[in-house]
Amino acid sequence: MKGWIIKDRKNSKFDEQFAMAKAYGVDVVYLYDIQIEVDPLNDMRIYVAGAYQEKPDFVYCFFEGIVEDATDMSYHLYVLEQLNMLGVFCFHKAEDLVNTCDKLKCYQLLRKAGIPVPHTIMLTEHTPLDWVSETLGFPMVVKVENGSKGRGVCLVRDAKELKNISELYCDKGRTLLAQEFIATSKGRDMRVTLCNNELIFALIRDNSKNSDFRSNVSQGGEALMVRPPKEAMDMAVKAAQALGLCYCGVDLLYGPEGFIVGEINSMPGILDEMFEGENCRDLMFKKILKTVNLKCGKV
């Protein structure tokens, strides 16, 4: 079985962790070494790093540029569509990136599936702010539609702040998202990482000691490995299924009446830590290979 990890950074901070992939028969491939060719006579090969190679059985993507919101993802999407065209099993499809990077679309798909999400309003230059204030109340969370790691997220405390941020950002077609503030989850949430609806690991992210409403570890939060309760696991699986995600991290907020899906990450981080006696990276690769076997009949 031949697999690829595709990265979009030549020198990735995860290269040391990716190196262990070779033990599982998985090669690391640089995104921009993959050339896009629509060949009507051959669908068994791909031109990579100056030579044709046999296409892999599966690919797993870790695109730091997208996770850090530091690159246009057009080429990423073309490469994933190319691989899909060639019949390669992709743990991350082009639509996965589109649906999870666009937070509003993600909430719409979740809501359509009957999954609880925060009350959300798109802010444009035409949005009546009095209505937003009355509907969501203060404080409210305002965020960019495609941010990650807690960047581009702020807590707005009154109508003046809301007006200022709207006037500053919402012009020339730019938009923001305004959300109800889930006070019961301030600085705290649960990340459930899944592969083919099976648990890889789960952790509670807690930043409450820093008085920050954002739970992200990148914003100073701490992470504690946990076995998720059935309610959390069931909601995470349902959310992944609603978006058709094979591999993802589901962030659950602690709502006053139960869990609420805060966000879904189609490329959650790779942890070099132990979960229930096994390294998370090993668990990830085992789940990946198990899924390929189930989906593609490979051994």
CA 21 to chain centre: 21
Q: Are 154 and 176 a contacting pair, CB within 8 Å?
A: no
pLDDT value of position 149: 58
- DSSP run (H or E) holding 251: strand 247-255
Helices 94-101, 74-85: inter-axial angle, 10-degree rounding: 150
Q: What is the structure's pLDDT at 299?
A: 42
List, for residues 68-80, the tens digit of each pLDDT value: 877 889 999 999 9
Which of 296 and 31 is assigned the larger pLDDT? 31
Please report the pLDDT score of residue 167 as a whole number: 94
When pLDDT is cut at 50, 70 and 90, the band that residue 220 belongs to is low
DSSP designation for 271: P
Interacting residues of 132 by C-beta distance below 8 A, sequence separation 6+: 121, 123, 140, 162, 178
Which of 193, 224, 231, 247 is CA-nearest to residue 62?
247
Percent of the chain with pLDDT over 90: 71
Q: What is the pTM of this model?
A: 0.91
* Predicted pLDDT of residue 216: 67
Q: pLDDT per residue over 98-118, tens digit each?
A: 999 999 999 999 999 999 999
Higher model confidence: residue 22 or residue 195? 195
> Tell me: the pLDDT tens digits for 138-176?
999 999 887 655 578 999 999 999 999 999 999 888 999
- Give the pLDDT confidence score for residue 270 in this predicted structure: 75
Write down the pLDDT at residue 170. Answer: 94
Can you say whether the dihedral through the CA atoms of 191, 193, 199, 203 is positive or negative?
negative
Residue 250: per-residue pLDDT: 97
* pLDDT(257) > 60: yes
> What is the average per-residue pLDDT within 235-252?
97
pLDDT (mean) for 14-36: 89
Give residue 236's pLDDT band: very low, low, confident or very high (50, 70, 90).
very high
Q: What is the mean pLDDT of the chain?
A: 91
pLDDT(298) > 90: no
How much is the pLDDT for 13?
A: 84
128 pLDDT higher than 60: yes
| Residue 44: how many other CB atoms lie within 10 Å | 10
Q: What are phi and psi of 79, to 5 degrees?
A: -65, -45
Provide the 3-class DSSP secondary structure of residue 3: strand
Looking at residues 279-284, what average pLDDT do you find? 88
Q: What is the mean pLDDT of residues 130-135?
A: 98
| pLDDT given for residue 172 in this prediction | 86
Tell whether the model's pLDDT for residue 64 goes beyond 50.
Answer: yes
